[in-house]
Structure 1
Amino acid sequence: MRHLKNFVSVLALCLMATSVEAASPNVLFIAVDDLRVELNCYGQKHVLSPNIDKLASEGTLFERAYCQQTVCNPSRASLLTGLRPDTLRVWDLPTHFRMNRPDTVTLPQLFKNSGYHAQCVGKIFHNWVQEDWKGDEASWSVPSVLHYANHYHDTPKIDGPLPPSSASGENGIECRDVPDDAYYDGRVAEVAIDALDKISREEKPFFLAVGFWKPHTPFNAPKKYWDLYDRDEIPVPEHVTPPTDVPEVALTSARYKGGPDSEYLRELHHGHLAAITYLDAQVGKVLAKLDETGLRNNTIVVFWSDHGLHLGEHGLTRKTTAFELDAGVPMIIATPEHTAGQRTDALVELLDLYPTLADLCGLDAPEDLEGVSLRPVLENPKADVKEVALTQTPRPNYLKGKLPELMGYSIRTDRYRYTEWRDFQSGEAQARELYDHQTDPLEMTNLAGRDEHAKLLNKLGKQLDETLE
């Protein structure tokens, strides 16, 4: 009888373990590159993004999510480690986070170490140029694919002669009548679908990261996506000059020198919208496959962009600023257990995704994470988890392994964006910016030099110090 009881106990434990493993939610982790907050679900009705819009209707859309630094590598390294760029000492494109933090447990690595199958298709970590740093092998159960490449090497690959481009070709803008898989993102979607098909049949829960390359330049989506837009009807920015009283350090060398009526500006935005809709179609293919597997009801889907982008606004044409347009990002979290179709204006940061996913999946996250779990916001969209969101960017923009001379630290509060450009060694502020989003949402007038805002600047400066502590 004793042996029988022992057998029953062991059997019960085995069944319990199997049940826990079966109940562990999967994670589909979708990353995109350079997508600013310009999607139909965010109110930009000129954008054709039906698949991402549908995902938003099934989850929680974050109206005010912000990246930690406005360029790919530091932003992605921060999100995937849950640590700020200053903690990682990663502020440029070449530096791999393991050069300074070799034992850091990344977000996918935590899932892998917890019994998940962790797989990367496309660009998740930055595509470092060093041959020795292709992704991060320790993070994945199998080697990454379609991860390492150069954006400007994304030229069409088809059988037979290449169709001519009907775009100008300036800065890589091209419009060719080619299939989706002629470019990286079409192939990323295909490989991700194959991966989902395979891992959905396995007993392990999965963390599948799918990284799309668009809408990063070059704007070279297949012609059918260009054809969905009437160029004459595409909105273009009217404010194509720097803000009033802005310090020069706040700007970059990537300047737009034309006016708001420039044909090039209109073509630039046309190509950008085509790239977004092309991206959206690939996201839709992957989500449709997830539905087909029957695992949607046990899968958390996360959609995020690493930073924003300027396309003529402020007279700029790239990123690496501390303006709202570069700092703000789209972010959507859809879980099986939270209300669908929620929207929240809570201030959140990309590095909050690490503790959030660990929390939702019941994993023991590292104690040194610098973000917070967003579970309270998922449960109540009116909840707040922090008073400010912090974004930074160094000067010079591209350090190539050197220390910054200045660092722009920018906090977004409920009403204001406040930025200090600090000497990186002494910490002393060399220039300041203040934008009132209640009256100036486009950030066209820097109020920092005005006497009537002296008390407010002092308050926000202390708030910035507290955030950096």
Structure 2
Amino acid sequence: MKSIFKPILLLSCLIALPAVAKKLNVLFVIVDDLRPLISCQGDPIAKTPSLDKLAADGMVFERAYAQYPICGPSRGSFMSGMRPDTTGLMGNNTPFHNVLNEELTLNRYFMQQGYAVFGAGKVYHNSIGDDWSEPYFKSEWLDHVKPENKRKADIFFTPKSEGLPPSIEAEDVGDDAYCDGQAAAASEKWIAQAAKDGKPFMMVTGFRKPHLPWCAPKKYWDLYERSAMPVAANRYHPIGAPEIALKHYGELFGYGDIPNGTPLTDELIRQSMHGYYACVSYADAQLGRVLDALKKAGVYDNTIIVLCGDNGYHHGNNGVWTKGVCWETTNHVPLLLKVPGAKKGQRSDALVELLDIYPTLCRTAGLPVPKHCEGKSLLPLVEHPKQEWNGFSASQFRKGKIIARSIRTDRYRFTLWEKGRGNVVGTELYDYEKDPQGNVNLAASPENKHLVEKFTKLHQSEWPSEY
């Protein structure tokens, strides 16, 4: 498949990596459904001291985008280094390793390069794979601990299912009672073991929160006042958006405490926002444990660290809860990178993609980038944050036989919904300079005809012809 970006001249990367005989270690942290509602990206509510510390030690990419707005295809993309059009993964029901069992995934490649590779929590979706140096530690999706909730969770995947438990839980328990504390504990153990063995390692840790259900120890709920939780002002679909682009209700509305088929009340919105923020802080605390484990083992300064969300998340804004639409909020994600020896506390406004993580880790670790990778290393931006970069980032989403392919430029998001090449069934154009929340689709406005034509040609020339 050809690159969807025109080649540009990159400045040489002159970062002075540590002058040690050992290879650099890698910590890759994936946080489920984390949008940039974190304090190091300007959110005034979130309490995320571990993320703030990582940002201070490394670099924040302010405009990073996922390639797909749901878990499975997004993770399949950045863990394989290939776009969803190439992997063919465009839904959550197909296990990644059933489709790409022979592909050179990130963890498989680092194992081939002599690394000890460990996995904990949620890395892939509905799949584990066998490319790990030790048995993979898998955490549970429904991790309620309150007895009546746990009973429902335990039988949900059986014929005796009584439906989903509540969307929230705030028991007064320790961190390891819930899934992400357990993933952090496994990561701590393996980091200590690897450091003792003296072999270069890659630790891939996936935190399930703030994905639903919003279960976290009570102390994280106590960090926030529910009455202070924000309520989106734009609780309506974008004006003029095609029907195919819309989402009506969805994942949140399957939980026992959320009425299905009716809009949420302000009280339920604040409850949901409270749960999301509590889980963000819980995941942040588990990140802190893993970072402390690196420091305790004496390998923090010699470890490359990448952290990202797998997709964005709507909280009622644009009339949507959760994800599964091809708009700004569901594709915009946090991306933090710490490179040993690089300048600390940097920020970049370049348009980057999660697809870039694989080649970035290879280049930083001193490894060749496999030929199949379709992203590019972010190391030049670490050295020169303001240099010229991509003209746009790309995301996509499929509904049945119709596929949305969306490009995000510096100012606009343009999306074509097609049922086969050239058979356009919906068009979207949002101007974030004039309309930061993406409330109005401008594609049908006569004054924007030239933009629609321009971006349509960009689609035709830059997206791979074989899709």
Letter in 1 for 2:406: S
Letter in 2 for 1:156: V
Equivalents in 2 of 1:263, 1:113: separation in Å? Answer: 52
2:269 to 257, 265, 268: 265
**1:439 aligned residue:** 434
1:145 to 117, 137, 143: 137
TM-superposed CA distance for 1:463, in Å, is 1.7
Matches within 5 A, 1:49-128: 49-126=48-125, 128=126
What does the per-residue CA deviation read over 1:56-99, in whole Å, with 9 as the maximum and x for residues that have no partner?
Answer: 11101000101111111100010011001111111111223444
Runs (4 or more) in structure 1 with deviation over 4 Å come to: none
TM-superposed CA distance for 1:257, in Å, is 4.4
What does the per-residue CA deviation read over 1:208-243, in whole Å, with 9 as the maximum and x for residues that have no partner?
Answer: 111111000001211111111111222221111111
TM-superposed CA distance for 1:204, in Å, is 1.1
Letter in 2 for 1:52: L
1:187 to 182, 195, 199: 182
Equivalents in 1 of 2:52, 2:310: separation in Å? Answer: 19
**1:277 aligned residue:** 281
Check the 8 A contact 1:27/1:208 in 2, yes or no: yes
Equivalents in 2 of 1:467, 1:170: separation in Å? Answer: 45
Equivalents in 2 of 1:41, 1:393: separation in Å? Answer: 29
Residue 154 (1) aligns with residue 143 (2): yes
What does the per-residue CA deviation read over 1:111-165, in whole Å, with 9 as the maximum and x for residues that have no partner?
Answer: 1100110110111111x1xxxxx4111x322221125x3x2x211279xx99xxx
Show structure 1 runs of 5+ residues with no match. Answer: 1-18, 129-133, 163-168, 396-403
Equivalents in 1 of 2:19, 2:382: separation in Å? Answer: 23
1:312 to 299, 312, 316: 316
Equivalents in 1 of 2:76, 2:107: separation in Å? Answer: 12
Moved more, 89-98 or 34-43: 89-98
Report the 3-state secondary structure (helix = DSSP H, G, I; strand = E; otherwise coil) of the residue aligned with 1:191. helix
**2:218 aligned residue:** 223
**1:344 aligned residue:** 348
Report the 3-state secondary structure (helix = DSSP H, G, I; strand = E; otherwise coil) of the residue aligned with 1:208. strand
TM-superposed CA distance for 1:250, in Å, is 1.0
TM-superposed CA distance for 1:384, in Å, is 3.4
Letter in 1 for 2:380: P
TM-superposed CA distance for 1:427, in Å, is 3.8
Equivalents in 1 of 2:328, 2:413: separation in Å? Answer: 8
**2:236 aligned residue:** 241
Over alpha carbons, which structure has the higher Rg? 1
Equivalents in 1 of 2:172, 2:333: separation in Å? Answer: 30
TM-superposed CA distance for 1:253, in Å, is 2.8
Check the 8 A contact 1:68/1:390 in 2, yes or no: yes
TM-superposed CA distance for 1:174, in Å, is 2.0
Equivalents in 1 of 2:146, 2:234: separation in Å? Answer: 38
Equivalents in 1 of 2:123, 2:332: separation in Å? Answer: 19
TM-superposed CA distance for 1:342, in Å, is 0.4
Check the 8 A contact 1:39/1:47 in 2, yes or no: yes
Equivalents in 2 of 1:371, 1:282: separation in Å? Answer: 29
CA 1:20–1:297: 2 relative to 1, 3 Å: closer
Letter in 2 for 1:405: K
1:457 to 444, 452, 458: 452
What does the per-residue CA deviation read over 1:368-395, in whole Å, with 9 as the maximum and x for residues that have no partner?
Answer: 2111111111111112331111111111
Greater RCO (Cα-Cα under 8 Å, separation 6 or more): 2
Equivalents in 1 of 2:217, 2:460: separation in Å? Answer: 47
**1:468 aligned residue:** 463
Check the 8 A contact 1:157/1:183 in 2, yes or no: no
1:135 to 121, 124, 128: 128
How many residues get paired?
423
Letter in 2 for 1:154: D
**2:417 aligned residue:** 421
**2:4 aligned residue:** none
Report the 3-state secondary structure (helix = DSSP H, G, I; strand = E; otherwise coil) of the residue aligned with 1:304. strand
Report the 3-state secondary structure (helix = DSSP H, G, I; strand = E; otherwise coil) of the residue aligned with 1:121. strand
Report the 3-state secondary structure (helix = DSSP H, G, I; strand = E; otherwise coil) of the residue aligned with 2:315. coil
Equivalents in 2 of 1:427, 1:320: separation in Å? Answer: 23
TM-superposed CA distance for 1:203, in Å, is 2.1
Check the 8 A contact 1:175/1:226 in 2, yes or no: yes
**2:34 aligned residue:** 35
Check the 8 A contact 2:397/2:403 in 1, yes or no: yes
TM-superposed CA distance for 1:170, in Å, is 7.9
Equivalents in 2 of 1:39, 1:466: separation in Å? Answer: 37
Letter in 2 for 1:326: T
2:167 to 172, 175, 191: 172
Check the 8 A contact 2:235/2:319 in 1, yes or no: yes
CA 1:361–1:237: 2 relative to 1, 3 Å: same
Check the 8 A contact 1:21/1:205 in 2, yes or no: no
Check the 8 A contact 1:60/1:344 in 2, yes or no: yes
Check the 8 A contact 2:146/2:171 in 1, yes or no: no
Letter in 1 for 2:73: P
What does the per-residue CA deviation read over 1:11-59, in whole Å, with 9 as the maximum and x for residues that have no partner?
Answer: xxxxxxxx99843110011111011111001100111011101101110
**1:15 aligned residue:** none
Show structure 2 runs of 5+ residues with no match. Answer: 1-17, 152-163, 251-260
Residue 353 (1) aligns with residue 353 (2): no
**2:255 aligned residue:** none
Check the 8 A contact 1:88/1:101 in 2, yes or no: yes
Equivalents in 2 of 1:79, 1:383: separation in Å? Answer: 24
Equivalents in 2 of 1:190, 1:244: separation in Å? Answer: 47
Equivalents in 2 of 1:224, 1:102: separation in Å? Answer: 41
Equivalents in 2 of 1:384, 1:321: separation in Å? Answer: 29
Letter in 2 for 1:408: A
Report the 3-state secondary structure (helix = DSSP H, G, I; strand = E; otherwise coil) of the residue aligned with 1:51. helix
Check the 8 A contact 1:21/1:204 in 2, yes or no: no
Identity, % of aligned pairs?
39
**2:155 aligned residue:** none
Residue 23 (1) aligns with residue 19 (2): no
What does the per-residue CA deviation read over 1:357-376, in whole Å, with 9 as the maximum and x for residues that have no partner?
Answer: 11111112221211111111
**1:405 aligned residue:** 401
